[in-house]
Structure 1
Amino acid sequence: RLPAMGSLAAAVWRVLHPSSLLLGAVVFLLLAHFFKNRLPKNYPPGPARLPLLGNFFQLDYKQPHLSVQKYVKKYGNLFSMEFGAWSSVVVTGLPLIKEALVHQGHNILDRPMSPVRKRIFKTNGLIMSNGQEWKEQRRFTLTTLRNFGLGRKSLEERMQEEAYHLNQAIEEENAPGQPFNPHFKINNAVSNIICSITFGERFEYQDSQFQEMLRLLDDIIRMEVSVWTQLYSTFPRIMNFLPGFHQTHLGKWEQLKLFISRVIENHKRDWNPEEPRDFIDAYLKEIEKHKGDDASSFNEENLIFSTQDLFFAGTETTSTTLRWGLIYMALKPEIQEKVQAEIDRVIGQSQQPSMDARALMPYTNAVIHEVQRMGNIIPLNVPREVNNATTLAGYHLPKGTMVITNLTALHRDPEEWATPNTFNPEHFLENGQLKKRDAFLPFSIGKRVCLGEQLAKAELFIFFTSLLQKFTFKPPDNEKLSLEFRVGITISPVDHRLRAVPRA
């Protein structure tokens, strides 16, 4: 009987050529994908999708926030797209964004965990955690930030001191008024504020190790939306075994994690639970407090990722906004002159900018708001995920659907802004005073609104005002300064140089 079965198997193998097996496997995968990912009833409309790849080839990864706008015109303010096995909807327009993130905030609360995110963060930290863990980490972080100066004069004084150091570093850049790249000087200055809270120290602009970390962070931001990374999220099991750009990206995240881990280890050597010096010390105390409680989310892994989140978010967003601000000032000298006239009138040349002065400087404040609107650094917001199946604009959104809010369209909506595609501070002014605009959401809205909003607003005002108090920013001679951007986790300016001419 065994020889007969062997002969039968050999005959079957001769018939089933490897190409036939491959074709069969592909057909099986396509059918499995079809049945697994059939669209539910009353799901938002959207462009046709390919099996396995979804709408992968229909999005321009060099400018995804712009390429998505053509589908808004075709399908309306709520439409669906699929990225690999990830079903998502794009929400456009202020009423619908408010409905999704505020009124339906309890149903659209989680962060989607893509394969890349899962590989890097698991479920840890402030940005990517969900449920009770997210609530605990966010509550603790907000309390701790306040304990270490958020909203107080002491932190404002640190910003003023750092603004002074930044001005000095720019002044020492070659000869006064010579072109220089402001990227990492501004990164260093902004990062020093969050570092003083999290690590208990600031880093000199000549610190080679810290400069290396800032460049590492910049590489991570740039690589995050590469085609390789998107392929990893689509085919994680295959891409795990393949060499390529995605492996370099994952390796850089590990390097950043290692840097944070070393700082934490250094803290442990002279840690005194009775006298916490910074966020890390306070977190170590919280770990001790919850020792033995298996339900607690306070552990060393979460400490690493929460610290990493603060370092990343507290460095990148504000510094990128400031870089856009200086470019716009160099390209709009008439607006820069008005800002400087207000600075001279309210605080003069010798007094440091302060938060008390902000209320007296509506034009400067309006310019900063307009930089945020036009800079558009997080154009599709940080995604959310439906944690409880819900209905939005009459359409059914199943649990697990990723929700993308279209801030690009909101911040360039011709019904909301008089000159949507032109830099115009008057958008935020009414009768000479700062005007609040509901359609202005650079920090998002709802339960997961940016927890660093207050810190970022203070940093933007003090750094921007201090820079324009001391310098006039101009394009380099014989070099064209453009508004071209680089897409990463944020939309940042391409590498450029500026001239910082000291003011008399």
Structure 2
Amino acid sequence: MMISVILISLVLFLLTAQFLSLQWKSRGFPPGPIPFPIIGSMWWINFRADHGSLKKLAETYGNICTLWMGHRPVMVLYGFQALKNGLTNNSEDVSGRLQTYVFNEMSNGKGILVSNGLIWKQQRHFGIGTLRKLGMGNKGMERGIQTEAHYLVEFFREKQGEAVDPSFPIVHAVSNVICAVVFGHRFSLEDKTFRRLIKAFNSIVAFGNSHFYYMCEMLPWLAELLPGPLHKARFSRDFVRSFVRREIKSHKEKGRIDEPEDFIDFYLKQIEKTKNVPNSTFDEDNMVQSVFDLFLGGSETTATTLRWALLFMLVYPDIQDKVQQELDAVLSPSHLICYEDRKKLPYTNAVVHEILRFSSIILITLPREAVKDTTLLGYHVPKGTLIMANVDSALFDPAYWETPHQFNPGHFLDKGGNFVTREAFLAFSAGHRVCLGEAMAKMELFIIFCSLLQKFKFTVPEGVKEINTDIIFGSTMKPHPYKLCAVLR
């Protein structure tokens, strides 16, 4: 009995000491919910329920506040001004990535997306430079996008107006844009290996969107014991890696590094060029992971946005009509859509940007980590502090958007009907970790969206009374599965 009392007293003493330690530790941080031992204050917010809990957090504690992940501080940025200043002032100081159990399982600290330090700097710098050489944002990449737009148009033409789910053909088209960049060739819709590749990426994304993902991060030892999602995600990861390694082997055999034609060629040339450089991070493992990251970052987000784009055209047929009127007035029916056309199509360009804003497919960016002691919006930020940016709050900030919760292309038009950029448009984030494929994504969205609307009128299938515009919460905010009819104009 005495031993039990002593143990209980000891536990209570330790919990009290931890509680007081947390209160003392939290003094220099922005305000936030009271943190408790072990659980911190993450219990306060339900990220999966809706956007309201983040809004409530900001209303209660301000646009910069602190949550605690156990004993680790997480600074949450809400609203455009907080995001802009928080991500761009001292940007390099908060450019780290949190190394979690799942992130390490998926990338082992390599590649571009979740790497840190020298690896991240070298891989990202090389990635941006190579994408530019391969035509990102100019005519070189444009031809590949136009090719995929053509195949997508032909897919819908063959359906002859029957109801169809556009998801897979959209994913196929967008993934093939990346394939052309990375591998130097595209895959047909019937290619079984390519279908397996897309299925593997879908499996990895589905795992990241599941409750099981959070359990793996919190209780990795338990995840190892349970069969199921984690093992399926690993199997998918291994399939993607083996697929990429086969492509690398094929590229080596062709021996094109003196005249590189795609990302793998350029990377093989870089490995050869830096083989005697002591601090070089260019090796085959980093190449495989960089390709993996380019696929994950460049196909999932753009394909999801295009799915929202066509869904919005069903919901707002008057806006679809206005886009088509502008396309008809400015371009001939046989004109091949190019990115330069956006300058002659201000309303259509505004609609594409409003699709990006209103779909807001990234609710919260991957957490950034302070790589050194720094300051953020007037607060001292110790090394290791996590920074969580609620991008959605900038895209719907009522101080910067006239009708934030309405789909309104006028947000990107001046009184004369000319296209205007908006500073609160942070769909691709900001600072050192800004999306490296922004130029490519914008080009893909514009060319594919315009190519489809130039040829088809998209309508709701017969018998469908209501269109579901609710989101499926996950690493990207997806629309629920839907069908549409593409009627040739």
TM-score by length of 1: 0.90
When residues 58 and 345 of structure 1 are mapped into structure 2, their CA distance, relative to the original with a 3 A threshold, is: same
User: In the TM superposition, what is the alpha-carbon distance from 1:153 to its structure 2 partner?
Assistant: 1.7
Cα pair distance change 1:91/1:253, threshold 3 Å: same
Q: Which residue of 1 aligns with 2:142?
A: 156
* Aligned-partner residue type, residue 230 of structure 2: H
- Return 352-361 or 126-135, whichever deviates more: 126-135
Instruction: Tell me if the contact between 2:323 and 2:348 (Cα under 8 Å) persists in the aligned partners.
Output: yes
Aligned to 1:179: 163
Deviation at residue 387 of structure 1 after TM alignment: 1.3
Question: 1:252 is aligned with what amino acid?
Answer: S
What is the distance in 1 between the residues matched to 2:56 and 2:237? Answer: 34
- Measured against aligned partners, the alpha-carbon deviations of 1:165-212 in whole angstroms (never above 9, x if no partner) come to 111012223xx1111111110011111111101011111112222122
State the partner residue of 1:461: 446
1:62–1:487: 8 Å Cα contact kept in structure 2?
yes
Residue 70 of structure 1: which of 56, 66, 88 is its match?
56
Corresponding residue to 2:260 among 276, 282, 291: 276
- Counterparts of 1:253 and 1:53 in 2: how far apart (Å)? 31
1:92-491 alignment, distance < 5 Å: 92-173=78-159, 176-430=160-414, 431-479=416-464, 480-491=466-477
Change (3 A) 1:87 1:264: farther
> Residues 348-382 of structure 1: CA distance to partner in whole angstroms, max 9, x if unpaired?
21111112211000000000111011100112123
One-letter code of the match for 2:215? L
1:158/1:397 CA distance change after superposition, 3 Å:
same
User: Compared with structure 1, are the counterparts of its residues 204 and 240 closer, same or farther at alpha carbon in structure 2 (3 Å cutoff)?
Assistant: same
Change (3 A) 1:432 1:120: same
Match of 1:472, SS state, is strand
1:56: Cα distance to partner?
Answer: 4.6
Whole-Å separation in 2 of the counterparts to 1:72 and 1:189: 39
Measure the CA separation in 2 of the matches of 1:402 and 1:157: 41
Distance 1:30 1:266, change over 3 A: farther
- Give 1:26 shift: 7.4
Give the conservation status (yes or no) of the 8 Å contact 1:65–1:380: no
Note closer, same or farther for the CA distance 1:128–1:51 as it changes in structure 2 (3 Å cut): same
Q: Is the 8 A contact 1:59 1:67 kept in 2?
A: yes
Distance in 2, matches of 1:35 and 1:126, equals: 39
* Alpha-carbon distance between aligned partners in 2 of 1:251 and 1:27, rounded to the nearest angstrom: 44
In the alignment, which of 452, 455, 479 is matched to residue 493 of structure 1? Answer: 479
Change (3 A) 1:61 1:210: farther
Distance 1:497 1:75 in 2: 42
Change (3 A) 1:25 1:215: farther
Structure 2 residues without counterparts, runs of 5 or longer: none
Q: 1:86 to 1:497 in 2, by over 3 A?
A: farther
Between the aligned partners of 2:152 and 2:368, the Cα distance in structure 1 is: 36
Between the aligned partners of 2:9 and 2:230, the Cα distance in structure 1 is 30
Amino acid at match of 1:213: L
Alpha-carbon distance in 2 for matches of 1:259, 1:484: 35
Shift of 1:35: 8.3
- Opposite residue 288 of structure 1, the aligned amino acid is E
| 1:105 Cα offset (Å) | 0.6
- Say whether the 8 Å CA contact 2:80–2:393 is kept in structure 1: no
Contact 2:47 2:54 in 1 (8 A): no
| CA distance in structure 1 between the partners assigned to 2:226 and 2:16 by the alignment | 25
Aligned residues: 486
* C-alpha separation in 1, matches of 2:338 and 2:198: 27
- Structure 1 spans left out of the alignment, 5+ residues: 1-13
Q: Deviations over 1:369-406 (max 9, x none)?
A: 11011100112123211112223233332211111112
AA partner of residue 263 (structure 1): E
Q: 1:373 to 1:101 in 2, by over 3 A?
A: same
CA contact (8 A) 1:386 1:402 kept: yes
The separation in 1 between residues aligned to 2:268 and 2:13, in whole angstroms, is 51
Change over 3 Å in CA distance of 1:143–1:395 after alignment to 2 = closer
State how far apart, in whole Å, the 2-side matches of 1:37 and 1:170 are.
Answer: 59
Question: Would the aligned equivalents of 1:331 and 1:474 in 2 still touch at CA under 8 Å?
Answer: no
2:86–2:377: 8 Å Cα contact kept in structure 1? no
Shift in Å, 1:226: 2.3
- Between the aligned partners of 1:170 and 1:233, the Cα distance in structure 2 is 42
- Aligned to 1:404, what secondary structure does the other structure show? strand
> Could you report, residue by residue, the CA deviation over 1:71-121 in whole angstroms, capped at 9, with x for unpaired residues?
111111011123355431111122222221112212211122222112221
| 1:241-271 deviations in Å (ceiling 9; x for gaps) | 3445334334433333333223223323323
467-476 or 82-91, which moves further after superposition? 82-91
The RMSD of aligned alpha carbons is 2.5
Alpha-carbon displacement from aligned partner over 1:328-353 (angstroms, at most 9, x marks no partner): 01110000000000011111211111
Distance in 1 of aligned mates of 2:409 and 2:330: 19
Match of 2:150, as an amino acid? Y
Amino acid at match of 1:105: S
SS in 1 for 2:292: helix
Aligned 8 A contact 2:152 2:170 in 1: yes
Query: Counterparts of 1:491 and 1:226 in 2: how far apart (Å)?
Result: 13
Give per-residue Cα distances to partners, 1:17-47, cap 9 Å, x unaligned.
9x999x7997799589768866343112222
Change (3 A) 1:364 1:261: same
Worse overlay, 58-67 or 143-152: 58-67
Tell me if the contact between 2:37 and 2:71 (Cα under 8 Å) persists in the aligned partners: no
TM-score by length of 2: 0.92
Do the aligned partners of 2:22 and 2:37 also contact (CA within 8 Å) in 1?
A: no
Q: What amino acid maps onto 1:472 in structure 2?
A: K
Amino acid at match of 2:484: L
Distance 1:172 1:286, change over 3 A: same
Aligned partners of 2:346 and 2:417 also within 8 Å: yes
